[in-house]
Amino acid sequence: MNNQKIKSSTFLSLETRVAVITGGAAGIGLSTAKLLAKMGATIALLDVNESRGHEAIKEIRKIGVQAKFYLCDVTKDTQCQKTVAAIVNDFERIDILFNNAGVIVRKNAVELQEDEWDLVINVNLKAIFLLSRHVLPIMIKQGNGGSIVNTGSGWGLKGGPNAVAYCAAKGGVVNMTRAMAIDHGKHEIRVNCICPGDTDTELLRGEAVQLNQDMKEFMEEAAERPLKRVGRPLDIAHTVLYLVSDLSSWITGTTIVVDGGGIA
C-alpha cells in the first residue's frame, strides 16, 4: 500500500465542477452554495427572488470562484429547460445538482385548498423532476458521472401535524430519489436525498407565523431533540458537500437524516 500522505482536501475538492443549486438565494441553498464554492466549485444559483439572488452571487464571488444567478421558476418546464441550456452555454458543463427549492403550508387535509396543495407539490416534488430531466442528459453526455442531491425532510420519513401536502411531497422526494438512483447508476450518476430536521431558516420561522404561535416558544419546541438545538444551514450544507464529493463515491439511492436526533 502506498503510504504517501494525502492532502486533507483531496476528496472534498470540487475544482473544475459546476454546481447547480435551486432555492439558492437564502437559507440552506445559500449556505451550501458558499461551502461548495470554498471547495472550488463554479456556482449556478437558481431562485425566484431576483434581488436576493444577485446579492447572494456577490457574496459567493468574494470567495474567488465563478458564479452566476439565474432567475428561474423551477415549477415551469420551459424555464427549467432554458435555464439549463444557459448554464451549459456559460460554463460548458454541469456536474452537481442540488434540488433544494422548497415551500410549506401548515394545514391539514380539511383546511388545505387545492391551489395550496398544488403549490407545495409543485415546488417540493415536481420541480425536482423537471430540472433533473434536463440536467441528466447533460451529465450522461459528459460521460464522467455526476451527483444529484434532493432535499427531503424528516417528515418525508414520518408524519407530521398540519402539513399534509408537505409530508406527501417529501415522501415522494425520498422514493423518487431511489428510483432515479436505480435508473442512472449505469451512467455513474449518483442520486441521494438529505432529510433535514428543523433548521433555522425563514421557512421554519414562517411556520410559526402560519400556525399563529409565539416565535420564541415555537423555536424552543423545535429544539427539543437529543442535541437540544435547531439545525443551522451549514449543518445541512456539510452533508451536501459529503454527498457531492469523492468521499461518497459508492453511495447512491440513500437518504441521510440530518436532524440532531429528532427522528430518534
3-state helix, strand, coil in the chain (%, to 5): 50, 15, 35
Model's pTM, two decimal places?
0.95
Number of H helices, E strands in the chain: 9, 7
Residue 9: predicted pLDDT:
62
Under a CB-based contact definition with an 8 Å cutoff, are residues 243 and 192 in contact? Answer: yes
State the burial class of residue 86 (Cβ atoms within 10 Å of its Cβ: 0-12, 13-18, 19+): middle
What CATH number matches the domain at 17-198+232-258, 3.40.50.720, 3.40.50.2020, 2.60.40.10, 3.30.70.260?
Answer: 3.40.50.720
Residue 5: predicted pLDDT:
44
Residue 1: predicted pLDDT:
40
Report the C-alpha gap between 129 and 122 in whole angstroms.
Answer: 10
Q: Give the SS3 label for residue 199.
A: strand
Q: Where are the alpha helices (DSSP H) in 47-153?
A: 50-61, 77-91, 114-121, 127-142
> Could you report the average pLDDT of every consecutive run of 10 residues in the chain (264 residues)?
51 95 97 97 98 98 97 98 98 98 98 98 98 98 98 97 98 98 98 98 96 97 97 98 97 98 94
- Please give the grid coordinates belonging to residue 3: 503510504
- The residue annotated as part of the active site, out of 166, 225, 259, 260, is 166
Domain residue limits, the chain: 17-198+232-258
Residue 242 designated active-site: no
28: left (phi over 0), alpha (psi -120 to 50) or beta: alpha
The sign of the torsion formed by the CA atoms of 63, 96, 122, 162 equals negative
Report the C-alpha gap between 228 and 231 in whole angstroms.
Answer: 10
Q: Where are the alpha helices (DSSP H) in the chain?
A: 27-38, 50-61, 77-91, 114-121, 127-142, 164-184, 202-210, 215-222, 233-244
Report the C-alpha gap between 87 and 4 in whole angstroms.
Answer: 38
Q: What pairs with residue 195 in β-bridges?
A: 257
Report the C-alpha gap between 149 and 60 in whole angstroms.
Answer: 20
